[in-house]
Amino acid sequence: MGRLDDKVAVVTGSSRGLGEGIARHLAAEGAAVVCADMLDASEVAGSLPAAPSGALATAVHLDVTDSARVDEVMRDVAAEYGSLDILCNNAGVAQPIADVIDTSEEVIDNVFNVNIRGVINCSRSAAHIMKENMWGRIINTASQTGKVAWPGWGIYSVSKFAVVGLTQVMALELAPYNVTVNAICPGTMFTNMTKTGFGMAAQMAGREREDLLAEHIATIPMKRLGTADDIGAMAAFLASDDAKFTTGASLNLTGGEQVFF
């Protein structure tokens, strides 16, 4: 018996990286998982185990900034699987390293549209279904930069601060319906985003990426980067009844890189 048997989950941004890790852990705990992404997530979905009910994981193309498409996907999932119990808002984009005053409007619009509006679109749509069912879990991927600003990542940081705030207000609004809303705040994770970010920083500093990354890892108390497995395990916990009295929280997943609430 898994902790998520008979539950149905939608995981955005799940074609690779952290989203893939979340999808794998939810499926391992018994959930039927829908992998939603702008990229092709069929390989990930095809590799996930069937739920105990026999329901297979599926992949669906989804642009989280398209509210009409989001509504369509959420309705279709609920109709096909008979429920929509868990939403993991993991889709997100980074930014080129730049001070806020030097960040283009195009970058600002893209980061805000995906990282803020996308989370709002998916959460609103899924929450309508969860309220009717009187049960639900919404889990947002925020960031440690949503608690402390990182110069050069200002717009991204602002977007993640917004995700933390949205998590708190929706937790209060949905608590009467037995729907919890929590966020995970990853630190420096082993992802393509991290590699790209440190690559840009290295180029600007005339350094080697691996050298900068090694120096940064040395400052992390647990002396390693976070992994997709780490975030998947935390998401599975938050989606389960083990976390039924946890809502409005933004949990650090940083190996000690950040330790404040």
The Cα-based distances of 102 to 97, 107, 148, 193, 230 in angstroms read 10, 10, 20, 21, 34
The CA-based dihedral angle spanning residues 14, 194, 170, 70, taken in that order and rounded to the nearest 10 degrees: -40
Spell out the residues 6+ positions from residue 15 whose beta carbon is closer than 8 angstroms to its own.
Answer: 35, 37, 39, 40, 41, 43, 44, 59
Spell out the residues 6+ positions from residue 230 whose beta carbon is closer than 8 angstroms to its own.
Answer: 21, 186, 189, 253
Q: Give me the count of residues in the chain.
A: 261
Whole-angstrom Cα Rg for the chain: 18
Which residue type is seen at 250? S
What is the Cα–Cα distance from 84 to 71, expressed in whole angstroms?
12
What is the Cα–Cα distance from 180 to 201, expressed in whole angstroms?
37
Phi then psi dihedrals of residue 253, to 5 deg: -135, 70
Selected catalytic residue, list 153, 156, 161, 237? 156
What is the Cα–Cα distance from 241 to 3, expressed in whole angstroms?
7
Active site residue 81: no
Q: So which residues are the catalytic ones?
A: 156
